Structure 1
């Protein structure tokens, strides 16, 4: 009982005060400073674990090239280092990325806790849904990119003739692999944009379905540009995955429209350039109610009686 009373006397939390607008600007800045400090501390701790995991992650990224036939003529898969500190800086870069990924739940929560009070309740619910879907979609795109790179490197390395030795520079190779993973992961977030357009009411499900030809063409064009090889395997795999995600997002949009009752409006079935039908059925005219005569208006007072001696 005493504990409940003590909790009741503590007053509203910072989240509630920020949501109702009672928090001052200085308090907002202090909260931002606190959350940035917590997020930075989490990233620093993740960076420490990233230094420990940098070498295993780098070997994992090297695996697609090392599994190619002829990549290890002496029994060991070797890369070239042009500068004396290139490998050290590369490990630090990998450690930073690993640290950002490991600390993502903490710094994302700090960012969300600072932004969420300014959103409505339904907007927070949508943000939870989109965040829960964004991470698995990005991981799926990254996994697909890893397999596409494994197929594409065989074609790229095979272009070298007998007078060219395939010895890849380590930093450029890792940048190539990470950029491909990043592009594939971001591309898999496109269905969330489609759902966002539908949930905020900008595009209906029928309109999104009407754009399927343009969407499929753009997916194949994007896949042809970002895939490292001209072979149809990588391009088709990425384009088909994007098409499947697009149609799945359109299906969710149809469910959302049916739940909200969209498309049942009076003019929902008409095109933009089509005139609405007119109802020409005559209606009977009945006599209206009798209007009472207005009350008589009192006569105005004389002007000399409307003012006193002062005015």
Structure 2
């Protein structure tokens, strides 16, 4: 008769035991990504025609919205067009197959993100207090919510702004834009994932405050430096025009202010607990 394997006490686990535990969590997270990637691989037409190449179409939701806004305010119709002046082609033998594989894996990571966060929390939770472990559901929900909001922002704002600017940019009428498939998908992937990770800023600040590396006073004092850093990040992930950088910088600045508020709450709770211990 095989004995049922019991969960070891974290205080009694050796370094190798922790590594073994980490290995199983990483394997489960990887398996979830592969399963999600397999689903995306099977949905090739929807993933590529509707999602990946969606921002290439003049009928894309963002372009139509910006076109209506520009007409309403009687501005230049820079987002009112019938076709973007570029083509996408694959110039390597395995280009389309490789794009299919890596796009499916990226989609699998996005789909399985909540489960990946759950595995991360399941690894660190045994070392936390019972009151902190009870916040697992909120941690998974908040991190997933912020990530998905960031992904949508990257897809519906950063990606179309970048594609519209770079796809219509020309140094001469003699040059026609023929973008390689991997370059185009790389732009979409980088915009979406970078935005998703940037939107995790409040969660990151929460943990940095918990371990004492960040305080509300520090965040307020360095707000001007944070603004410069945010503008640099916005310039890196958007086209080199002021309007696009401002559009991206605004939500990140809002997230920074939210981070200050969260940091205040964490510090307030910590001070309250210290007072309770002293009395």
TM-score range, shorter chain: 0.7 to 0.9
CA contact (8 A) 1:50 1:99 kept: yes
One of 175, 178, 184 as aligned partner of 2:186: 175
Can you list the C-alpha shifts for 1:121-148, whole angstroms capped at 9, x where unaligned? Answer: 3554566544432222222222222222
Report the number of matched residues: 247
Are the equivalent residues in 2 in contact too, given 1:42–1:106 (CA < 8 A)? Answer: yes
Whether the 8 Å contact between 2:121 and 2:136 is mirrored in structure 1 is no
Cα 1:201–1:141 change in 2 (3 A) is same
The whole-number CA distance in structure 2 between the counterparts of 1:149 and 1:230 is 13
Q: Deviations over 1:180-215 (max 9, x none)?
A: 222222222223232223233333323322222221
User: Per-residue displacement from partner, 1:202-237 (whole Å, max 9, x unpaired)?
Assistant: 33323322222221222122212321x222222101
Q: Tell me what 1:275 maps to.
A: none
Tell me the distance in 2 between the aligned counterparts of 1:55 and 1:31. Answer: 39
2:44 to 48, 54, 78: 54
Q: Where do 1:38-187 residues align within 5 Å?
A: 38-59=28-49, 60-67=51-58, 69-71=82-84, 79-124=88-133, 129-146=138-155, 147-160=157-170, 161-187=172-198
Q: Select 1:203's aligned residue among 202, 211, 214.
A: 214
Q: CA RMSD in A?
A: 3.3
* Aligned twin of 2:76: none
DSSP 3-state at the match of 2:146: helix
**Contact 2:153-2:195 within 8 A present in 1 as well:** yes
Q: Which runs of 5+ in 1 are unaligned?
A: 1-9, 266-311
Counterparts in 2 of 1:164 and 1:37: CA distance versus 1, 3 Å: closer
8 Å CA contact 1:51–1:92 kept in 2: the answer is yes
Change (3 A) 1:158 1:33: closer
Query: TM-score, structure 1 length as denominator?
Result: 0.66
- Check whether the contact 2:143–2:200 (CA below 8 A) recurs between aligned residues: yes
The range that moved more, 170-179 or 98-107, is 98-107
Q: Any idea what the Cα deviations from partners look like across 1:44-74, whole Å, max 9, x if unmatched?
A: 43332121123322221212123263337xx
Distance 1:62 1:39 in 2: 28
5+ residue gaps, structure 2: 59-80
Greater Rg, structure 1 or structure 2? 1
Alpha-carbon distance in 2 for matches of 1:78, 1:249: 42
Q: Higher relative contact order at CA 8 Å, sep ≥6: structure 1 or structure 2?
A: 2
**1:53/1:95 contact within 8 Å kept:** no
1:26 and 1:158 map into 2 onto residues whose CA distance is 55
